């Protein structure tokens, strides 16, 4: 998967977890949780959805690497290169 596809996939997963949030103005370099109403359980749901859909396991120590769209793409891109 390419970076733009990963970004679209992340936005799709977030939209499924918090469907009432407007993601159209999400800034890629600002913490996602600072921009939309999303609690820690919603974040864990996103992590679980990545595992379910793509077989990607994110260790708890790496959760902060998924705090922004840009950092999420950078973290996931090497893990999803063959998907």
CATH of the domain at 8: 1.10.1200.10
Tell me the per-residue pLDDT of 9-42, one tens digit each, with 9 for 90 and over.
999 999 999 999 999 999 999 999 999 999 999 9
Backbone region of residue 57 per phi and psi (left: phi > 0; alpha: psi in -120 to 50; beta: other values): beta
SS3 46: helix
> What residue has token string 């998907």?
83
Q: Please state the domain count of the chain.
A: 1
- Spell 58-78 as b/e; 16+ CB within 10 A means b: beeeeeeebbbbebbbebbee
pLDDT, mean over the chain: 95
In whole angstroms, give the CA distance from residue 71 to residue 12: 17
Whole domain around residue 27: which residue ranges?
A: 3-79
How confident is residue 82, by pLDDT bands cut at 50, 70 and 90? confident
**Rounded to whole angstroms, how far apart are CA atoms 75 and 58?**
10
The model's pTM is 0.90
At CA 79, angle to CA 74 and CA 80, rounded to 5? Answer: 95
């Amino acid at each position: 998967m390419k970076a733009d596809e990963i970004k679209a996939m992340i936005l799709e997963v977030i939209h499924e977890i918090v469907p009432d949030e407007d993601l159209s103005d999400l800034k890629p370099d600002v913490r996602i949780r600072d921009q939309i109403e999303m609690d820690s359980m919603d974040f864990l749901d996103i992590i679980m959805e990545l595992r379910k859909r793509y077989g990607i396991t994110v260790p708890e120590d790496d959760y902060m690497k998924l705090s922004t769209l840009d950092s999420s793409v950078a973290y996931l891109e090497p893990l999803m290169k063959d998907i």
